[in-house]
Structures are given as structure tokens and as C-alpha cells.
């Protein structure tokens, strides 16, 4: 049977004009910045369904990726089932959130929170929905390589959540100097998707910043519940997020947040006491690597490390070996000073005290900057209050690393420390006892 003889499949979806612009775009990559209730997810799911049906590959695979697997199920699974139901022979699989179409195409719902689970697949197309809430690593390091085998396409979409990877992606696409990229800005004042009366109600019940972010797609609003968003915005306004080079006259401090399945976050800092400056000159994240492998990576970077700062649980001994990671680290040449196990709010206050003096390299520390902008409190939807605990996601790694640094850094001038490349003049235990006494 020829392709033109196959009966037409009618999907019960009527795109709005701004959705047609997305569906008909010829560019390989698109960035869609959309206001709330613009029909973004519904349109993107149908974009995937159409692409799956039209693919000529014998086993095409397409993915809808949400910030978490749970979110993918909650916001997109019903849409996927509804708009593939008219396709005779489609087979939804609720246990793995996928649908197999009669042409052997597979549509998968995935979560960006399990970044390791996304590796190794091939994709003909992918939608990253609520991209602003994902780790900046997901698209360039995981999804983009998965698209390389078959020149696959991708759409990065979302509503702004501060100045982060969605803003950078949109700015790149909007410049118009790369024929592979196209941008779409969908503001509520322009789409007509929400009536004027409802928009007035939203304005009357939201702050000006919240309304600008959610309905007019402003990237300038600070993320709701963010612990350090205002301070990072101030640093940007004051020009402290800029080029910050390594100064060989100042010692290098390495602060880490250790993780195995989570990221191993490493910040490289220098202090200039007379100028009252803390300088973040570099930031790296390592995944699936232990202490030895990370130490080798740090050695390759080449900064002469004078001081090491790590989390309080480094000193916990493992039952199998009887050794702590602190002992293992010291054996590898990482003589950590262990951060005090302070209440979280005390640690966050220590961070707030340091942030006004912080200078950050805009390029090498881009992921750290995004993490600090977005690290936020959980929100209890039932009680409508912020929880004392933070949202544990990709932003936690950089934020926790910096918190360990802030509660551990000596409260005296670095001019009293040893020269770069040597251990501190006093042992870490004695230094920590002084810090705890305040």
C-alpha cells in the first residue's frame, strides 16, 4: 500500500494561530516562551503525535520531557492518551508512560530529574516542557546527543522562572543569526488565549512581578520562595557577575558537595581580604564519580589548592570498611575542613552575609549562578505556606556547596593562612572549634 493510500487520521486538535507557527516551523530547534494557560503542553503533545505518525523511520522514538517523571505523568499523560486514542492500533502503556503507534513509532514521557536514565536512548524529536525548571545540563549533555543519530528536532518550552537557561536559549534563538533556531514569545496580552476580564482578575490577585512573569513572560522577576534570588539579582546589577580570573597571589579554596547519584559539586574560590571580596573563579559538577576520580579531574584543572571544605557528613564512618570519606579524602590529598552541622536557616543566613561580597565568573560559573537564582523553599499547597525544607533538585548541589563554604570559612583575614598550595597552619579540628564558639 502506498503512503498516499493510507486513510487519513484525524486528531481532535485545532491549533491556534500562534500554535500553527510552531507546528509549521522549518527550523530544527525552537524555543517557546509562553504565558500560563496558553495551551503550551497540549500543543506540544500534538506536535509529537503528528511527528510520530509522519516519520518514515522503521522505529521512530520521540520524547516529552518534564522536570520530573511525576510532572510528566500529571500534566501530559492524559493528553497523550486522548490524542492518540483516535489512531487505530495505538497501544498505551501506563506502567512506562509510553504509547506505541501502528507505524511502530514510540512516544515516551520522561523526567529530567533522572538524568542518568535518559542516557543511551536515540530520539527523532523531543519536547522539553518547563525547561526553566530543569538542570541546564539536560539538553546539551543528554537530549542533544540523543538526537544526533537521525538529525532529530527539539523544542525547549516554558514559562519564565527568573533569568536562567530558558532565557539564554530564547536570547540565542531570537538573535536570528543561526538558521537552525527559531524563537516564539507568547504573551497573554498578545495571544488572546485568556479574556481581558480574567487577566484583570489575575492582576488584582498577584503582585506586579508575579503577573509579569506568569502572563507577560518577564524573565526579570525573582523566583518565588528563592533563598538567594534577590542577592544574585543585586550582584548582576552591580556588575559582580562578570569575568573573574584566577589570581596567583591569592590562595584557592575548594568547597564541595559530595554526591554519588547526585552531582558532585565543586566550587573554586579566592578571597581578597583587604578588598572584602570573595571570588568564585570556577565551578564544576561531576556525575557518577567518586572521590578519587574527582580529585584527578581537579588536578587536571591545575589550580594550586590551599584549602578544602566539605560537608559535615564526611566524618561518618561506613559500616563495611570502618573508614570515613574524610579519611579516604585525606589519603588522596584532599585535607578537608568539615563544615559545622548548623541548622539550615543558620547556614542560609551565613550565605546571605557573604553574598554581598561575592564576585562570580559569568561563564565558568553559569550553572552555579542558575542554581543560586532558583534554589527555593518547598511550598505547601494545602497550607499555602513555604516549608522549612528546600526543594531538593539540581539547584541543591551548588547552593549546598556554597553554604558549606560560608559556614566554614575562617572569620579572620586570609593573610593569616598559609601560602597557596600548603595546608592551613592550624588543623581543621581546631579551626572548627573556634568557629563553633563564634
Contacts of 232-235 with CB under 8 Å at 24 or more apart are: 232/355, 232/369, 232/372, 232/373, 233/373, 234/356, 235/355, 235/358, 235/359, 235/360
> What pLDDT is stored for residue 268 in this prediction?
98
The per-residue pLDDT for range 67-84, each reduced to its tens digit, is 999 999 999 999 999 999
Integer CA distances (angstroms), 409 to 62, 101, 242, 272, 277, in order = 48, 58, 23, 13, 13
- Which of 180, 168, 107 has its CA nearest to residue 134? 168
pLDDT score recorded for residue 384? 47
Q: Quick check: 193 pLDDT over 80?
A: yes
Q: Flag whether pLDDT at 180 surpasses 80.
A: yes
Within 13 Å of residue 202, how many CA atoms lie on the same side as its CB?
19
Percent of the chain with pLDDT strictly greater than 70: 87
Cell of 41: 503542553
CA geometry: angle 201, 384, 397, nearest 5 deg: 110
Angle at CA of residue 228, ends 217 and 264, nearest 5°: 100
pLDDT computed for residue 192 by the predictor: 96
pLDDT of 287 reads 81
Confidence of residue 429 (pLDDT cuts 50, 70, 90): very low
Treating both helix axes as pointing N-terminal to C-terminal, what angle do 395-408 and 428-437 enclose, rounded to 10 degrees? 80
Looking at the predicted structure, is the pLDDT value of residue 282 above 60?
yes
pLDDT, residue 416, reads 42
Residue range 277-293: mean pLDDT, rounded: 92
Determine contact, residues 146/126, Cβ cutoff 8 Å.
yes
User: Phi and psi for 299 in degrees, rounded to 5?
Assistant: -60, -35
* Confidence band, pLDDT 50/70/90 cuts, at residue 382: very low
For the chain, the average pLDDT equals 87
Is the predicted pLDDT of residue 93 greater than 80, yes or no?
yes
Instruction: With beta carbons less than 8 A apart as the criterion, state whether 73 and 41 touch.
Output: no
Res. 351: pLDDT tops 60: yes
The string of pLDDT tens digits covering residues 352-362 is 999 999 999 99
Question: Among the CATH numbers 3.30.420.40, 3.30.360.10, 3.90.1150.10, 3.40.50.300, which is that of 3-216?
Answer: 3.40.50.300
pLDDT digits (tens, 9 = 90+) for 136-175: 889 999 999 999 999 999 999 999 988 889 999 999 999 9
pLDDT at 420 over 70: no
- So what's the pLDDT on residue 225? 83
Give the tens place of pLDDT for each residue, 32-77.
999 999 999 999 999 999 999 999 999 999 999 999 999 999 999 9
Query: Lowest-confidence range among 231-235, 252-256, 360-364, 374-378?
Result: 374-378
The answer to whether the beta carbons of residues 160 and 177 sit under 8 Å apart is no
Q: How confident is the model at residue 117 (pLDDT cuts 50, 70, 90)?
A: confident
- The answer, yes or no, to whether residue 224 has pLDDT greater than 90, is no
Confidence of residue 128 (pLDDT cuts 50, 70, 90): very high
d(CA 69, CA 308): 36
Domain extents in the chain? 3-216, 229-437
pTM for the full model?
0.75
| 229-437: CATH class | alpha beta
Amino acid at each position: 500500500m502506498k503512503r498516499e493510500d493510507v486513510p487519513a487520521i484525524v486528531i481532535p486538535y485545532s491549533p491556534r494561530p500562534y500554535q500553527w507557527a510552531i507546528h509549521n516551523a522549518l527550523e530544527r530547534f525552537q524555543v517557546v516562551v509562553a504565558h500560563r494557560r496558553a495551551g503550551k503542553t497540549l500543543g506540544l503533545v500534538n506536535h509529537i503525535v503528528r511527528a510520530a505518525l509522519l516519520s518514515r523511520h522503521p522505529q521512530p522514538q520521540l520524547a516529552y520531557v518534564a522536570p520530573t517523571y511525576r510532572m510528566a505523568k500529571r500534566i501530559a499523560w492524559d493528553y497523550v492518551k486522548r490524542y492518540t486514542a483516535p489512531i487505530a492500533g495505538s497501544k498505551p502503556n501506563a506502567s512506562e508512560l509510553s504509547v506505541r503507534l501502528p507505524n511502530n513509532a514510540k512516544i515516551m514521557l520522561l523526567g529530567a530529574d533522572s538524568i542518568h536514565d535518559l542516557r543511551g536512548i536515540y530520539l527523532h524529536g523531543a519536547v522539553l516542557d518547563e525547561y526553566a525548571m530543569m538542570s541546564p545540563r539536560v539538553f546539551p549533555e543528554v537530549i542533544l546527543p540523543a538526537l544526533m543519530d537521525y538529525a532529530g528536532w527539539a523544542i525547549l518550552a516554558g514559562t519564565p522562572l527568573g533569568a536562567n537557561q530558558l532565557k539564554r536559549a530564547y536570547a540565542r534563538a531570537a538573535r536570528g543569526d543561526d538558521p537552525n533556531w527559531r524563537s516564539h514569545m507568547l504573551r497573554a496580552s498578545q495571544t488572546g488565549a485568556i479574556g481581558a476580564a480574567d487577566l484583570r482578575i489575575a492582576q488584582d490577585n498577584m503582585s506586579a512581578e508575579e503577573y509579569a512573569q506568569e502572563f507577560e513572560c518577564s524573565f526579570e522577576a525573582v523566583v518565588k520562595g528563592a533563598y538567594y534570588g534577590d542577592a544574585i539579582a543585586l550582584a548582576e546589577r552591580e556588575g559582580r557577575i562578570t569575568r573573574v580570573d584566577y589570581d596567583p597571589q591569592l590562595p584557592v579554596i575548594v568547597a564541595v558537595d559530595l554526591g554519588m547519584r547526585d552531582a558532585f559539586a565543586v566550587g573554586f574560590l579566592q578571597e581578597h581580604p583587604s578588598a572584602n571580596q570573595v571570588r568564585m573563579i570556577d565551578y564544576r559538577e561531576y556525575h557518577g564519580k567518586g572521590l578519587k576520580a574527582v580529585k584527578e579531574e581537579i588536578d587536571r584543572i591545575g589550580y594550586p589548592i590551599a584549602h578544602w571544605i566539605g560537608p559535615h557528613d564526611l566524618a561518618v564512618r561506613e559500616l563495611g570498611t570502618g573508614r570515613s570519606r574524610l579519611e579516604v579524602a585525606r589519603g588522596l590529598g584532599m585535607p578537608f575542613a568539615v563544615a559545622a552541622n548548623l541548622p539550615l536557616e543558620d547556614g542560609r543566613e551565613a550565605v546571605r552575609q557573604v553574598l554581598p561580597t561575592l564576585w562570580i565568573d559569568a561563564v565558568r560559573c553559569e550553572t552555579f549562578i542558575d542554581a543560586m537564582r532558583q534554589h527555593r523553599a518547598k511550598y505547601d499547597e494545602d497550607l499555602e505556606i513555604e516549608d522549612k525544607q528546600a526543594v531538593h533538585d539540581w539547584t541543591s548541589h551548588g547552593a549546598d556547596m556554597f553554604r558549606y563554604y560560608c559556614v566554614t570559612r575562617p572569620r579572620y583575614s586570609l593573610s593569616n593562612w598559609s601560602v597557596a598550595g600548603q595546608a592551613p597552619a592550624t588543623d581543621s579540628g581546631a579551626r572548627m572549634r573556634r568557629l563553633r564558639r563564634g
